[in-house]
Chain A
């Protein structure tokens, strides 16, 4: 009784200093917050695959999986982008209700084996019929999708992802020892051969059902340079509001959307996808008794819009970074805010010159990072995954913490 009275007294006293009034929404698919919920687009922010190895068991590889969490069939459009944000390959996958598809980037890039899917596949007993999705086009071209790329196409893909150029001599990516880039997976209404550089992809093809989920595993079997694996959920980007047929914008609450730069000027929110944030907190360890090291895998929105002119993608190579502050374990801060540039997709050691130095002898701490590239009136979109590894056997991947969602004004730097 005495305790109850005390609690009441405290509540009464403190009620005047209560929480600020904020309009709170509790529904699903109704916020700008990126979380791990079924989504309409999945982003694999960074992949590496060693195509020089003749067998996958010795090759650095990235494997990702897409799950259709709905009873209805879905079509997922997978696009491989170079690290400069050029779409190097795009293909559809027909997913029966509750269907799942794992994709080895080694199979895809080294061998040219695209996953083969059919709209005629027998659905599971709990799945709806393959023609039951009302948002599919009648003639959706999903009779048979995938297969093996012809040699010329496979080599062209490898040139794009490894050498960073294809036919024009213009740079569409950096030169790498192994194939590098990022992947998007969108829910769509047809398997027709239309990619994200085609305006009709946005107006006629993209759907809005938050039904996909997925994860990735990054495997480095090399006992000298790796001998470990890391993984994380894919970035789940929801359509808000959810559902409906292709081509309908709806009342999108976001100030801009994930695919902003590809959309028709008159319908810039047509994809309805949640935008990504620009400011992150990311922890690091550099050495110490465990010998841990840290890479930051960074995805950034490019400055190039929807163009097939390969020569326009070079401007994505050196996108400015607004601010990086490094705090060590004693909160000593070092700062870098000029001259830092990174492309749309990259893996960066925390000791790289892009990051301010660790000065006071500590081996751990965290970064406050604003990745806004300054290309637009708004902050650009970004994502960071932290990758820690040690001893040739330990590795951990996890998403960095976003400090404000993609719809809000980025927080000021420390």
Chain B
């Protein structure tokens, strides 16, 4: 009884329980707010089973022997007992869908995909709905949302030589799309990003076709995955990094297509049909991030940021507007919290996906003697505020993802996701230059 009374005092009159004197201007506790404890019911991105997986960036040396080639390997796991079909799409760095194929995954299946095998050798993973299932897996016909097992009987296999040549050309030169437009940047290695969606069959419909989102996409949060980035070259790498794929949940989960979601907009917003702009129900990604860097020092550490950015084009046929999308320069804090930024009003740019050294002119220089610190970035491409022809369904910041890649000494490498400062549903991201302004107003 006495303890209960004490607890009541602690809760109701917290100041009485203080061991010291609190400052007079104590901020009052925030009022209870709308919260959820359910799964698949928030806008927060987390490493939990999802309906779409995003590999934000890959690079593959398609001209080198596999033992010398930079490669990216990613794995997709079906965490459910039911079979699933996963649609894998390989996009150029300007968000042109270069290649897509389906994976039939038996219940609890795992499929690892070497992008070297796909992009250098044209070997697309072979899966079949007739594959023997594991003892704990449901029958391959047990997922009522898969429309046709027949279409999944023989997926994958070798790409035709002409198709492989086109894929390689687009991912290294940006040239080769059927539209005749340039759809990618020039690279010394095949470069782009990958999405993996839960779908209802092994159709060949293009991800550039809006009916893919309204008729093919499913909403079961059952996929998980990770990637490994390997650089065996002893001169330029001799190291590996890796991370979970970005897990985008369908909210709410399950069922068939409906536009009914509390999300203000969705990951595939740009591609969805008129009148049903949230039909994919995928969580949107944020725009502002905190990312650490090390640049030099005794360990000679270096840092690259992988920047994945939502495209600014309205579709995926001619994507030149995605080649150099602007963003507000970052604020760089050194070890003594000295903030640095580029000249006021200056905007820098990058394509949909890129890996950029923190020594790049995209970022403000280090102004003190320190070699480490962190940056605040708002990668909004501003396309959502265009008066006409906005690619987005609402007036909003664009979606983005940032990964940090630290490397040193020809043997150490660490990849990890940067910290999202808010989730993708909240549009109240402060301009990063306002941080500097706040300091000046102090």
Give A residues with C-beta under 8 Å from B: 3-4, 6-8, 10-11, 14-28, 30-38, 65, 67, 69, 71, 96-100, 102, 122-129, 131, 133-140, 189-190, 192, 194, 200, 203-205, 208, 213, 215, 217, 219, 227-233, 236, 240-251, 253-255, 264-267, 270, 281, 283, 325, 327, 329-333, 364-366, 368, 386, 388, 390, 393-405, 407-408, 414
Contacts and interface: CB of A to CB of B under 8 A. Distances in A.
Contact of A135 (B27, B107, B247): B27
B442 A128 contact: yes
Contacts of A386: 226
A414 B81 contact: yes
Interface in B408-442: 408, 411-423, 425-426, 435-436, 438-440, 442
B18 A21 contact: no
A21 B45 CA distance: 20
A204 B240 contact: no
A222 to B, nearest CB: 11
Contacts of B3: 264-266
Contacts of A100: 292, 333, 335, 337, 372-374
Contacts of B256: 14-19
A27 B34 contact: yes
A192 B19 CA distance: 10
9 contacts: A17-B256, A20-B254, A22-B252, A25-B34, A28-B426, A31-B37, A35-B47, A100-B335, A246-B18
A228 B339 contact: no
Given A97-B337, A243-B27, A264-B3, 12 more contacts: A3-B211, A14-B258, A20-B253, A22-B40, A28-B423, A33-B46, A98-B435, A138-B23, A236-B419, A240-B35, A253-B37, A331-B137
A205 B8 CA distance: 18
A213 to B, nearest CB: 4
B264 to A, nearest CB: 7
Interface string B224-250: 101010100000001111111001001
Given A11-B257, A33-B48, A138-B23, A250 B404 contact: no
A349 B20 CA distance: 47
Contacts of B257: 10-11, 14-15, 18
B115 interface: no
A128 B372 CA distance: 21
B39 A404 contact: yes
Nearest to A230: B414
A414 B279 CA distance: 31
A16 to B, nearest CB: 8
Contacts of A18: 255-258, 260
B44 A37 contact: yes
Interface stretch (B128-136, B161-169, B309-317): B128-136
Given A26-B262, A134-B26, A217-B414, A125 B243 contact: no
B32 A31 contact: no
B41 interface: yes
Nearest to A219: B412
A240 B336 CA distance: 31
Interface in B49-103: 49, 75, 77, 79, 81
B186 interface: no
B232 to A, nearest CB: 8
A26 B43 contact: yes
B19 A204 contact: yes
A36 B14 contact: no
Contact of B414 (A67, A69, A200, A231): A231
Given A14-B257, A100-B373, A251-B32, A26 B423 contact: yes
B276 interface: yes
Given A28-B426, A126-B436, A135-B26, A6 B258 contact: no
B106 interface: yes
A174 B136 CA distance: 37
A247 B10 contact: yes
Contacts of A227: 411
A33 B42 contact: yes
Contacts of B422: 28, 37
B210 A136 contact: no
A126 B132 CA distance: 61
Which 7 pairs across A and B sit closest by C-beta, in order of nearness? A331-B134, A266-B7, A244-B29, A124-B337, A126-B439, A18-B258, A231-B414
B359 interface: no
Contacts of A231: 406, 414-416
Contacts of B77: 281, 283, 366, 401
B242 A99 contact: no
How would you classify the secondary structure of chain A's contact residues: helix, strand, loop or mixed?
loop
Contacts of B275: 8, 11
A190 B75 CA distance: 45
Contacts of B215: 7, 10
B346 interface: no
Nearest to B77: A366
B263 interface: yes
B407 to A, nearest CB: 9
A392 to B, nearest CB: 9
A10 B210 CA distance: 12
A236 B418 CA distance: 12
Interface residues of B, number: 132
A192 B20 contact: yes
B110 A365 contact: yes
Contact of B29 (A236, A243, A265, A333): A243
Interface centre among B45, B133, B256 (most CB of A within 10 A): B256
B119 to A, nearest CB: 19
A25 B416 contact: no
Contact of B240 (A3, A28, A394): A394
Contacts of A254: 37
Nearest to A392: B411
Contacts of A99: 337
A251 B426 CA distance: 23
A208 to B, nearest CB: 8
A98 B333 contact: yes
Contacts of B417: 36, 233
Contact of A203 (B10, B374, B376): B10
Contacts of B40: 22
B14 A246 contact: yes
B10 A11 contact: no
Nearest to B243: A398
Contact of B425 (A26, A203, A255): A26
A30 B35 contact: yes
B123 interface: no
Given A228-B411, A244-B27, A254-B37, A126 B42 contact: no
A24 B251 contact: yes
B442 A213 contact: no
Nearest to A325: B136
Contact of B419 (A27, A192, A213, A248): A213
Given A24-B42, A100-B372, A213 B224 contact: no
Given A98-B333, A138-B20, A22 B411 contact: no
Given A253-B37, A388-B242, A33 B44 contact: yes
A405 to B, nearest CB: 6
B48 to A, nearest CB: 5
Contacts of B20: 137-140, 190, 192, 204
B419 A137 contact: no
A126 B136 contact: no
Contacts of A247: 10, 14-15, 17-18
Contacts of A124: 333, 336-339, 439
Nearest to B226: A398
Contacts of A396: 228, 240-243, 415
